[in-house]
Structure 1
Amino acid sequence: MKEPILNEQLMDIGGFTHSLVHNKNLQQFETVHIDLTKSEEELLQKLHRTNRKQINKASRHNFHILVIDKPTIADIRAFQKFYNHFAKFTNTYSCNSFHVNTMSKLKDKNALVITQLLNEENEILCYRVYISDGDTVFSLYSASHFRLKEKKEEKRLLSLASRYLLWRNILYFKDLNLTIYDMGGLTANENIRSFKMEFGGEITPVYSGYEANSLVGKLVLWVRTIKMRKG
């Protein structure tokens, strides 16, 4: 991708998310890119054998996948509620008002996609949220049904569901003729890193952050930092 997925250009601030263009003022991250121009069979063979086995097993369950390609603010709020229950259970950061506002702006640009996996009782087990620019799709959030982690068999079911939703999303965006699936960044967490690498992509350096183009811009970024901390 030659341009950033999200480029919020204002007079005083430029915002970038996972740009492939090197910029010394932005922070460098590692992510995993999956080449969506490959055939479905090639993508399948790139998966770790455990992934292939679990995805095949998941396909025999009565899972239903819903893709919301034109989400409303109500859809975003529903995701926020689900995610914050998940975040509390897993001791991770919450989806606060700043994040909701960002997703709302992406929605207005037709750049936000929300997907869900539901069981046969129409209970949502997993969510994934994406930014798409028509060429690259970037995984912004993922969350699973925290209550299902209480029993071993339910943990296994949730693992199947999470992998299956991700795999079906990859194929969905491939069918839309997008070229890159960005897994959303690698972290130091070995479990998360391993999970993302098992989908067969390539490690790629990317650049994210905000640039202040004026003193006013610097002030706005400082206020943004304070608001994010407060939620």
Structure 2
Amino acid sequence: MQHFYFVEKPANIRKSMRVVGYTHSLVPSRKLVRSETIHISLRESELSLYLALSEGNRQLLRCAQQEFYQVILYREPSAVNLQAFQQFYNQFAKRKKLKGIGKLQMETILLLNQQGALLLSEVQSICGQTMCYRLDIVHAKKAMSYYEVTCDAAAMATHLQRPLRYVNRFLLWHNLLHLKQQGFILYDMGELTDDPHVRALKQSFGGQVVNVYSGYITLSKIRARLLGVKKWRK
């Protein structure tokens, strides 16, 4: 299977490919699922990116600067790093009754990692306790938010609960600046859901709302049916 990320024009598909996957393509297609995301241009200056933030975000980032965060960037995360992330994410998902990262999702994560297409970042407290993770897909100088998870306040010591309020936004802002410094040109905030809190958070970082298209295309009717069943089961 051939898979394309963030394509801006019709992809050059090898004739031998029976199934082609797309993630957040900008090329409209009735065969793919349309969704909304937010694109943040990393070509802008750091000052322009900062001014595009909501006033609430700027205030929270000023508070975050007073905290003793330890940021760890795993540009080439090991299997152990990713397993630690999976365990942390699934503990949070279990408490919140959300879908965790199962075997199939982990196989995709490991495959992306083999292709050098992942950036894993972590924030630890001053005493070394993990507070937040972000997992981004990185490809062709473009990046996309893939997974994010913040520790449950109930699992933190009392003196760490206040710093926990700022950590997710702090890490996202840190990563935007890091990617910009590495020459990346675009950050995709991930799918905009109907959850008003999620939409508000993503829109508070500025950027432009765009339509993107994801899914699988196959010329085989049998494979198309199988993919349809797979999609329905999700």
- The TM-score normalised by the length of structure 1 is 0.89
Give matches, 1:111-122, under 5 Å. 111-122=117-128
Counterpart code for 2:138: S
C-alpha distance in 2 between matches for 1:150 and 1:191: 23
The reply to whether residue 173 of structure 1 matches residue 174 of structure 2 is no
Q: Measure the CA separation in 2 of the matches of 1:178 and 1:42.
A: 16
Q: Provide the C-alpha distance between the structure 2 equivalents of 1:49 and 1:16, rounded to a whole number of angstroms.
A: 35
1:212 Cα deviation (Å)? 2.2
Q: State the shift of 1:147 in Å.
A: 4.3
Residue number in structure 2 paired with 1:70: 76
Is residue 52 of structure 1 aligned with residue 27 of structure 2? no
Deviation string 1:82-128 (CA, Å, 9 cap, x unpaired) is 11111112222111111111011111110011100111011110000
Offset of 1:146 from its aligned partner?
Answer: 1.7
> Matched residues in 1 for 2:228 and 2:62: separation?
48
Q: 2:192 aligns with which of 181, 186, 193?
A: 186
* TM-score of the pair, normalised by structure 2: 0.88
Whether 1:97 and 2:103 are equivalent positions in the alignment is yes
1:129 counterpart (113, 132, 135): 135
Match for 2:116 among 105, 110, 134?
110
From 159, 168, 173, give the equivalent of 1:162.
168
Q: What CA distance in whole angstroms lies between the structure 1 residues aligned with 2:42 and 2:182?
A: 10
Unaligned runs of 5+ residues in structure 2 are none
Indicate yes or no: 2:5 matched with 1:4.
yes
SS at match of 1:185: coil
Contact 2:153 2:161 in 1 (8 A): no
> What is the aligned length?
226
For the 8 Å contact 2:135–2:148, the answer to whether it is kept is yes
Question: How far 1:70 sits from its partner (Å)?
Answer: 0.4
Report the CA distance between 1:185 and its aligned residue: 1.3
Report if the CA contact (8 A) 1:30-1:204 is conserved.
yes
Q: Residues 189 and 152 from structure 1, CA distance in 2 versus in 1: closer, same or farther, beyond 3 angstroms?
A: farther
Query: Is 1:201 paired with 2:201?
Result: no
Tell me whether 67-76 or 185-194 shows the greater mean CA deviation: 67-76
Query: What is the CA–CA distance in structure 2 between the aligned matches of 1:159 and 1:203, rounded to whole Å?
Result: 26
Contact persistence 2:52–2:205 (CA under 8 A): yes
Write out per-residue CA displacement over residues 162-200 of structure 1, whole angstroms, 9 at most, x where no aligned residue. Answer: 110010011011111111110111111001110111001
CA distance in structure 2 between the partners assigned to 1:151 and 1:188 by the alignment: 33
Letter in 1 for 2:123: L
Contact 1:116 1:127 survives alignment (8 Å)? yes
The alpha-carbon distance between structure 1 residues 76 and 224, as it changes in their structure 2 partners (threshold 3 A), is farther
Give 1:158 deviation, angstroms. Answer: 1.9
Deviates more, 1:87-96 or 1:168-177: 87-96
Q: Percent identity?
A: 30
Among 27, 32, 43, the alignment partner of 2:38 is 32
Contact 1:11 1:213 in 2 (8 A): no
How far off its partner does 1:159 sit? 2.4
CA distance in 2: counterparts of 1:151 and 1:90, whole angstroms? 19
Q: 1:150 to 1:176 in 2, by over 3 A?
A: closer
Aligned partners of 2:213 and 2:228: how far apart in 1?
Answer: 20
Residue 218 of structure 1: CA displacement?
A: 2.8
